[in-house]
Amino acid sequence: MREHLVDCSRDRRLGTRVNRRHVILGVGSATAAWPLAALAQQQSIPVIGFLSGRSPGESASAIGAFRQGLADVGYTEGKNVTIEYHWAEGQYDRLPAIAAELASSHVAVVAATGGSELAAKEATTSIPIVFTTGGDPVELGLVASLNEPGGNVTGVTFLASDLGSKRLGLLREFVANATAIAMLMNPNYHATVAEVRDVRVAGDALGVQINVLNASTSREIDTAFATLGRERPDALFVGGDPFLLGQRDQIVSLAERHTLPAIYPQREYVDAGGLMSYGTSVANGYRQAGTYTGKVLAGAKPAALPVLQPTKLDLVINLKTAKALNLAMPNVLLVAADELIE
């Protein structure tokens, strides 16, 4: 009987060992499955490849607006969508390689901003692309037409480059006797040629000489302003280039140092202390791009989404800067201004 009891006890111990082994194996299998489940969950979350010719620090407000646009249609970064950010930091020649890398990755859609739209289009004909651009999307070859983009590309245009003649007219209203106006332009930006052409045509009509100064780096901006200091033009026209927008603090500071009345394409310059701007809202454009990106993630085809155009153009004037420059503000501009910063 004792032997039986001992045998039974050993059987129980063996059974315990067997059961414990099964439990350990089961726990091990479950532990191994957890990363796979997490990976599967991550793989089900779409990835946006955010491509920009700008720099991350100065683009914070634009990124916030883009995320807001995504949220408007139900997508929240880190919750049900992932955004991978890729920045050229003003070096546009880096964009084709970055875009090609994105095209060979797992992104569901490319948000091409900050001057990267052409590089994105050249990199892929299959991945949907939502762009922001300062130029004419049709003239640039991004889309077949504004209403029917066709292909895998759609987006938002600021028309920043197409408003050059209007900006020149406003600057001439401010500096009525101006006969020589300098243009600060980035020669590496794809919309520069068209903008310079339009402004020169407008300048001829107004009897104003247009002198173009090129700058594609911070050092070249300093050099351009050193030239302005020697030549002393009557006013300054800053082009609608994303890199220049990123250097707005430097540009505004130099314009003030050289006491140059200047007009800018975006109000961000005026917020930084610039004299005046005329154009559409960059933040609103990025928000619209975010909304379109969300719609594409939800199944919409870019070809069926018309290119969005500005519905409102704002003239913003910084009266404090005008006073610092000892400039009298013409009544016609005071009346026409959408916002006066005091």
Q: How far is CA 24 from CA 16, 20, 70, in A?
A: 12, 6, 45
d(CA 138, CA 161): 13
d(CA 142, CA 153): 7
Judge contact between 51 and 123, C-beta under 8 A: no
CB-neighbour burial class of residue 53 (10 A; exposed 0-12, middle 13-18, buried 19+): buried
d(CA 231, CA 145): 43
pLDDT one-digit tens code per residue, 63-119: 999 999 999 999 999 999 999 999 999 999 999 999 999 999 989 999 999 999 999
Dihedral sign (CA 148, 152, 156, 161) = negative
Position 339 scores a pLDDT of 95
d(CA 247, CA 217): 9
3-class DSSP assignment, residue 210: strand
Q: What is the mean pLDDT of residues 296-319?
A: 95
Q: If you write DSSP's letter for every residue of 115-153 in order, what string do you get? A: T-HHHHHHH-SSS-EEEEESS-TTTTTS-S-SS---TTE
Judge contact between 266 and 159, C-beta under 8 A: no
Residue among 246, 292, 290, 283 at smallest CA distance from 87 = 246
Pairing of strands 314-318, 276-279: antiparallel
Position 328 scores a pLDDT of 86
d(CA 85, CA 78): 13
Position 39 scores a pLDDT of 41
Position 177 scores a pLDDT of 87
Band the pLDDT of 12: cuts 50, 70, 90.
very low
Band the pLDDT of 28: cuts 50, 70, 90.
very low
CB-neighbour burial class of residue 195 (10 A; exposed 0-12, middle 13-18, buried 19+): buried
Residue partners of 126: CB distance under 8 A and separation at least 6: 152
Which residues, in sequence order, are bridge partners of residue 130? Answer: 111, 154
Q: How far is CA 133 from CA 68, 159, 311, in A?
A: 19, 7, 15
Pairing of strands 153-157, 82-87: unpaired
pLDDT one-digit tens code per residue, 168-207: 999 999 998 899 999 999 999 999 999 999 999 999 999 9
pTM: 0.84
Which amino acid would we find at residue 25?
L
Q: How far is CA 228 from CA 103, 154, 197, 258, in A?
A: 42, 39, 21, 8
**pLDDT of 42 strictly over 90:** no
**pLDDT of 252 strictly over 80:** yes
